[in-house]
């Protein structure tokens, strides 16, 4: 079922990456580690693509080209897993704030698995033909890394692939893979709202226009966007992740800032949601007596990941042979977002992007039904949780094998005209 993967070296690589997380566009150490591995395996290796990205190319005769992608960046948050290899790294984020740094989304798993897959494919060239492009991408958490690599000539410099392949670790049991054809991961928009009031002394609120109260009212009203302005048959998420205002308890500040994350699948729903956000924000400012309209800026965004239906149908049997048909599941629409789809649309290649189970299988003992599994998954620490910690085994072993088996599907050993 699952292929044999020599994991002790990979497990140590994973622990090393986990101990040394780096923020978006700061992945210098990670990139150097990756480049060393690729160079030792005989890949044509280029660093600094799109800032800190790494591209490895392995040519193995005539045939198609497959691109395998992993993202490298970590998140600005504190780790609370208590693991012996937990991160205690601190850094400065893209906004200039000093923050803790933690691989809370599993990108250390992604890098490790792609390094392992590169090794297997390099050491077994008799089993495939064509060109393998490995892309280690920066800044997925900002939604800017894929675009930065494309703008830096990714496809002009290294070739256009026939398929884009990749995976993302998730909190369902290790030993399972999840693949959904068609729209799979949501589009993401990051929104910055600045609300302008009139500051003053906390003892005399009647002389002010309080932006804190304005922002608080806005937070509550924004909850109605999804519940009252999006049809029940559509999907959208509006999350306020940051509310910043003031410096002292007895000073009413001049401004308040909100940072929002918006997730949608349908472009028309996206337009409706963003329009509702701006309308509500402006209305709350008027209701509060503000003399200046708020600023609403969409500062990062990327489209939904749409898996190619035919490409998924071609790849799925390899996954079923790997872990068993009953362990390749449809995860449904995933409201998390990924910029890997830009690599596919930017190259004109089909996308096949799947989820890799990373939770301890023991937590799912005795569970057989899909509904029961969904309940158990909800009880696990999720990506972006301070407690998120994929189990090393069998996650790495299956993650490597999934990438290798997908690559073999698109890089057959026979000459192209005999496939």
> 265: closest CA among 337, 196, 329?
337
**384 labelled as ligand-binding?**
no
Extract the tokens encoding 89.
């790294």
Q: What ranges in 159-308 are assigned the alpha helix state H?
A: 211-222, 224-229, 267-287
Q: What ranges in 88-159 are assigned the alpha helix state H?
A: 107-123, 145-151, 154-158
CATH of 186-301, one of 3.90.550.10, 3.30.450.20, 3.30.70.360, 3.60.15.10: 3.30.70.360
**Residue 254 designated active-site:** no
CA distance 281 to 275: 10
Determine which one of 22, 27, 71, 73 is catalytic. Answer: 73
Quote the pTM value: 0.91
**168 labelled as ligand-binding?**
yes
Per-residue pLDDT at 167: 98
- Residues near 97 by beta carbon (within 8 Å), at least 6 away in sequence: 76
Per-residue pLDDT at 418: 42
Rg (CA), the chain: 23
First to last CA, the chain: 24
**94 labelled as ligand-binding?**
no
**Residue 73 designated active-site:** yes
Parse the chain into domains and list their residue ranges: 8-181+308-418, 186-301
Q: Give me the average pLDDT of each 10-residue run along the chain (419 residues).
A: 66 98 98 98 98 98 98 98 98 95 98 98 96 98 96 98 98 97 96 98 98 98 97 97 97 98 96 98 97 95 95 98 96 95 98 98 84 87 97 97 98 62
**141 labelled as ligand-binding?**
yes
Domains 8-181+308-418 and 186-301 share a fold: no
How far is it between the farthest Cα atoms of the chain? 82
> 104: closest CA among 15, 18, 28?
18
Determine which one of 22, 140, 266, 339 is catalytic. Answer: 140
CA distance 291 to 288: 9
Per-residue pLDDT at 369: 74
CATH of 8-181+308-418, one of 3.60.15.10, 3.40.630.10, 3.40.640.10, 3.40.50.300: 3.40.630.10
Per-residue pLDDT at 6: 63
């Amino acid at each position: 079922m699952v292929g044999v993967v020599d994991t002790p070296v990979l497990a140590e690589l994973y622990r090393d990456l986990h101990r040394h997380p780096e923020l978006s566009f700061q992945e210098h150490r990670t990139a150097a580690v990756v480049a060393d591995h690729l160079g030792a395996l005989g890949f044509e290796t280029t660093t600094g693509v799109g800032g800190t990205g790494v591209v490895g190319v392995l040519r193995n005769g005539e045939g198609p080209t497959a691109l395998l992608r992993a993202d490298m960046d970590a998140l600005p948050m504190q780790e609370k897993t208590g693991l012996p290899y937990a991160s205690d790294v601190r850094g400065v984020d893209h906004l200039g704030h000093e923050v803790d740094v933690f691989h809370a989304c599993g990108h250390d798993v992604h890098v490790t698995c792609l390094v392992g897959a590169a090794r297997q494919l390099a050491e077994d060239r008799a089993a495939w033909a064509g060109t393998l492009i490995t892309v280690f991408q920066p800044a997925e958490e900002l939604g800017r890394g894929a675009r930065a690599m494309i703008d830096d000539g990714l496809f002009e410099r290294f070739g256009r692939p026939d398929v884009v392949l990749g995976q993302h670790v998730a909190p369902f049991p290790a030993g399972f893979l999840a693949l959904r054809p068609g729209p799979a991961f949501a589009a993401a928009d990051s929104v910055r709202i600045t609300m302008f009031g009139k500051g003053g002394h906390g003892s005399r609120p009647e002389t002010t226009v309080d932006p804190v109260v304005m922002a608080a009212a806005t937070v509550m009203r924004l909850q109605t966007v999804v519940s009252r302005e999006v049809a029940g048959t559509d999907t959208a998420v509006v999350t306020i992740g940051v509310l910043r205002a003031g410096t002292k308890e007895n000073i009413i500040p001049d401004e308040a800032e909100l940072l929002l994350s918006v997730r949608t699948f349908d472009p028309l729903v996206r337009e409706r949601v963003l329009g509702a956000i701006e309308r509500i924000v402006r209305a709350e400012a008027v209701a509060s007596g503000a003399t200046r309209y708020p600023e609403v800026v969409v500062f990062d965004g990327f489209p939904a990941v749409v898996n190619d239906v035919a490409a998924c149908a071609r790849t799925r049997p390899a996954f079923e042979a790997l872990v068993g048909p009953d362990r390749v599941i449809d995860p449904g629409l995933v409201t998390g977002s990924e910029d890997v789809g830009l690599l596919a649309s930017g190259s004109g290649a089909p996308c096949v992007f799947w989820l890799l189970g990373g939770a301890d299988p023991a937590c799912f003992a005795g569970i057989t039904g899909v509904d029961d599994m969904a309940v158990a998954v909800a009880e696990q620490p999720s990506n972006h949780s301070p407690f998120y910690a994929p189990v090393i085994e069998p996650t790495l072993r299956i993650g490597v094998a999934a990438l290798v088996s997908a690559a073999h599907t698109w890089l057959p050993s026979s000459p192209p005209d005999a496939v």
